[in-house]
């Protein structure tokens, strides 16, 4: 008999034909009502068994967490919250789950903290919350590809193992096949990487941008969607050591066009989630409302999850320069009353997440794109502006800041002038022999071009309303944690 998925069954009409469905038992009430979930939807299918007709040894094995297969007919449901249910004629136990052992795990249906769920990351996808988050994550990934494919971008796979440090921040994980206990040494005692597999020092990529630029210079419009790795020791709810990044790169786009692209792209994927993930979003919204009830009044969020998503679609993102932002921050009450941990005193300082969140959550109350940052605090590849009247140097950088998240996108117009880039690399101590290929792009048909990187998990955080980045990726890697 053809096996049906619960999502499809719940949309079907009652019928005398027998159907079959498989899933995991979420609950079994009164020896009569099985709540079955197969992952296709957040909703459970109710399967009604007349226990008089069933062997007791089978009924005993219909326990929470067990995998079972059910046959029966679809009938109108008497219960609340569902239109149809299965009148069960046959139950097959596919995989048992011992109730004593289940009671020690998060499969046991009661309120578990997110920290507790993290400790059992291999089981947490069977909870409603993680089922919803991970289905949304998958749909958002699809929407991202759909957006770029519809708009003529080419999906490009950039290398995971590279010899360069695109961001120049020195936050790389080394890749080597040398024996760490006994590596071959040079005469001066340093490790001899000539004997390494790649005959040089290599690392996991921090960003595919530099390689994406090379392809944008031939294909015009490209995007990457892959993992990035950063050994930054930031133990926050917004940082992962392994995260997924989407990096579009477009020939002939200047910074304004880059900002337009980022805004249009983000709005598209949020709209997609609203259109295609109603059940999961509704569950997450209710979950948040429940959580809010336990918070003190002042900390409660004023907006429901889906209203928050819709509000992003309805308004243009505010676009202001770093210099304008510094003025706002400097003159803000939070700065004057020393509420910031890092006070804004002078132009040139890097913004901390408390400042970014002040701008989006308190001042503008909407997403903000900051651009034209001081050259000193940004990467080498960003296009240099003419110095301002005070002689201050800025680059054509842009960061998209989101409420509740802070920076969700970082990007820039790239330095396309050979001489300027070469000099910048010299000043910043970036060896030309390592990035000769990157400089070559500026020799052979150089042109204005721009791109950005969106942190996928930060987007998933925003859309699901979850509070910690560790809860929107199946197996988070953070300082001191690579279990599973």
Contact residues toward ligand 4AD (CB under 6 A) are 166-167, 207, 209, 230, 232, 239-240, 243, 245, 247, 407-412, 451-453, 455, 457-458
Token duo for residue 1: 């008999």
Angle among Cα 476, 480, 484 to the nearest 5 degrees reads 45
Compute the least distance from the CB of residue 424 to Mg ion, in Å.
18
Q: Using CA atoms, how far apart are residues 420 and 387, in angstroms rounded to an integer?
A: 14
Question: 55 or 350, CB closer to Mg ion?
Answer: 350
Reference 160, options 198, 122, 196; nearest CA is 198
Compute the least distance from the CB of residue 320 to Mg ion, in Å.
17
Question: 68 or 206, CB closer to ligand 4AD?
Answer: 206
Task: From the list Mg ion, ligand 4AD, none, pick the one residue 37 interacts with, judged by a Cβ distance below 5 to 8 Å according to partner type.
Answer: none
72 binds Mg ion (CB under 5 A): no
Q: Using CA atoms, how far apart are residues 443 and 432, in angstroms rounded to an integer?
A: 14
Compute the least distance from the CB of residue 419 to ligand 4AD, in Å.
22
User: Interacting stretch for Mg ion, rule CB under 5 A, among 188-196, 263-271, 384-392, 407-415?
Assistant: 407-415
Q: Using CA atoms, how far apart are residues 374 and 323, in angstroms rounded to an integer?
A: 9
Residue with nearest beta carbon to Mg ion = 410
Task: From the list Mg ion, ligand 4AD, none, pick the one residue 131 interacts with, judged by a Cβ distance below 5 to 8 Å according to partner type.
Answer: none
Compute the least distance from the CB of residue 268 to Mg ion, in Å.
22
Task: From the list ligand 4AD, Mg ion, none, pick the one residue 409 interacts with, judged by a Cβ distance below 5 to 8 Å according to partner type.
Answer: ligand 4AD
User: Interacting stretch for Mg ion, rule CB under 5 A, among 50-58, 251-259, 408-416, 463-471?
Assistant: 408-416
Question: 23 or 476, CB closer to ligand 4AD?
Answer: 476
Q: Using CA atoms, how far apart are residues 264 and 248, in angstroms rounded to an integer?
A: 13
Q: Crossing angle of helices 255-276/278-293, nearest 10°?
A: 90
Reference 315, options 378, 360, 357; nearest CA is 360
Question: 242 or 361, CB closer to ligand 4AD?
Answer: 242
CB environment 221-259: b (16+ within 10 A), e (fewer): bbbbbbebbbeeeeeeebbbbbbbbbbbbbbebebeebb
Question: 105 or 158, CB closer to ligand 4AD?
Answer: 158
Compute the least distance from the CB of residue 344 to ligand 4AD, in Å.
21
Question: 232 or 361, CB closer to ligand 4AD?
Answer: 232
Question: 65 or 410, CB closer to Mg ion?
Answer: 410
User: Interacting stretch for Mg ion, rule CB under 5 A, among 14-22, 168-176, 368-376, 403-411?
Assistant: 403-411
Task: From the list Mg ion, ligand 4AD, none, pick the one residue 240 interacts with, judged by a Cβ distance below 5 to 8 Å according to partner type.
Answer: ligand 4AD
Inter-CA distances, 303 with 128, 267, 286, 307, 403, Å:
22, 18, 12, 6, 12
Compute the least distance from the CB of residue 442 to ligand 4AD, in Å.
17
Compute the least distance from the CB of residue 410 to ligand 4AD, in Å.
2
Compute the least distance from the CB of residue 371 to ligand 4AD, in Å.
13
406 binds Mg ion (CB under 5 A): no
CA 48 to chain CA centroid, Å, is 39
3-class secondary-structure state, position 218: helix
Question: 403 or 410, CB closer to Mg ion?
Answer: 410
Question: 193 or 215, CB closer to ligand 4AD?
Answer: 215
Residue 50 CB burial class (10 angstroms; 0-12, 13-18, ≥19): exposed
Q: What is the CA radius of gyration of the chain?
A: 27
Sign of CA dihedral 79, 80, 85, 88: negative
Compute the least distance from the CB of residue 457 to ligand 4AD, in Å.
5
410 binds Mg ion (CB under 5 A): yes
Task: From the list ligand 4AD, Mg ion, none, pick the one residue 452 interacts with, judged by a Cβ distance below 5 to 8 Å according to partner type.
Answer: ligand 4AD
**Within 10 Å of residue 422's Cβ, how many Cβ atoms?**
16
Question: 44 or 164, CB closer to ligand 4AD?
Answer: 164
| Residue 365, phi then psi, degrees to nearest 5 | 55, 40
Furthest-apart CA atoms within the chain: distance in Å:
88
Q: Using CA atoms, how far apart are residues 6 and 3, in angstroms rounded to an integer?
A: 10
**Within 10 Å of residue 263's Cβ, how many Cβ atoms?**
18
Compute the least distance from the CB of residue 168 to ligand 4AD, in Å.
10
Cross-strand partners of 251: 449
**What residues line the site for Mg ion (CB under 5 A)?**
410
């Amino acid at each position: 008999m053809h096996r049906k998925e619960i999502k499809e069954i719940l949309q079907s009409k009652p019928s005398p034909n027998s159907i079959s469905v498989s899933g995991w038992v979420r609950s079994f009430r009164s020896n009569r009502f099985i709540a079955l979930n197969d992952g296709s939807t957040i909703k459970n299918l109710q399967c009604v068994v007349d226990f008089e007709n069933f062997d007791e040894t089978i009924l005993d094995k219909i326990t929470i967490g067990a995998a079972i297969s059910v046959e029966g007919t679809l009938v109108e449901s008497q219960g609340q919250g569902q239109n149809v249910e299965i009148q069960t004629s046959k139950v097959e136990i596919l995989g048992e789950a011992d109730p004593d052992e289940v009671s020690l795990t998060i499969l046991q249906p009661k309120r578990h903290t997110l920290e507790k769920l993290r400790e059992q990351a291999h089981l947490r996808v069977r909870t409603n919350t993680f089922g919803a988050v991970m289905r949304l994550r998958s749909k958002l990934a699809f929407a991202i590809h759909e957006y770029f494919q519809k708009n003529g971008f080419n999906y490009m796979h950039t290398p995971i193992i590279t010899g360069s440090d695109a961001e120049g921040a020195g936050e790389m994980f080394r890749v080597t096949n040398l024996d760490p206990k006994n590596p071959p040494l040079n005469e001066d005692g340093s490790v001899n990487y000539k004997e390494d597999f790649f005959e040089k020092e290599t690392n996991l990529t921090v960003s595919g941008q530099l390689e994406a630029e090379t392809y944008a210079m031939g294909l015009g419009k490209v995007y990457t969607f892959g993992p990035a790795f950063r050994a930054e020791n930031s133990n926050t709810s917004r940082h992962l050591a392994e995260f997924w990044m989407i990096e579009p790169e477009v020939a002939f786009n200047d910074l304004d066009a880059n900002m337009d692209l980022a805004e249009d792209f983000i709005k598209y994927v949020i709209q997609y989630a609203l259109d295609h993930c109603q059940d999961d979003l509704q569950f997450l919204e209710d979950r948040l409302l429940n959580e809010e009830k336990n918070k003190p009044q002042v900390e409660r969020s004023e907006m429901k999850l889906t209203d928050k998503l819709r509000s992003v679609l309805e308004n243009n993102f505010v676009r202001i320069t770093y210099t304008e932002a510094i003025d706002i921050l400097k003159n803000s009450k939070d700065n004057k009353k020393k509420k910031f941990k890092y006070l804004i005193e002078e132009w040139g300082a890097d913004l901390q997440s408390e400042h970014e969140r002040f701008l989006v959550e308190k001042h503008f109350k909407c997403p903000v794109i900051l651009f034209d940052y001081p050259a000193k605090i940004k990467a080498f590849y960003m296009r240099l502006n003419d110095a301002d009247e005070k002689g201050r140097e800025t680059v054509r950088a842009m960061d998209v800041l989101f409420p509740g998240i802070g920076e969700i996108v970082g990007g820039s117009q790239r330095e396309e002038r050979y001489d300027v880039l070469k000099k910048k690399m010299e000043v910043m101590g970036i060896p030309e022999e390592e990035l000769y290929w990157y400089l070559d792009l500026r020799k052979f048909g150089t042109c204005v071009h721009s791109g950005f990187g969106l942190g996928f998990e930060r987007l998933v955080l925003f859309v699901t309303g979850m509070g910690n980045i560790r809860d929107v990726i199946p197996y988070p890697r953070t300082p001191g944690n690579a279990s599973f």
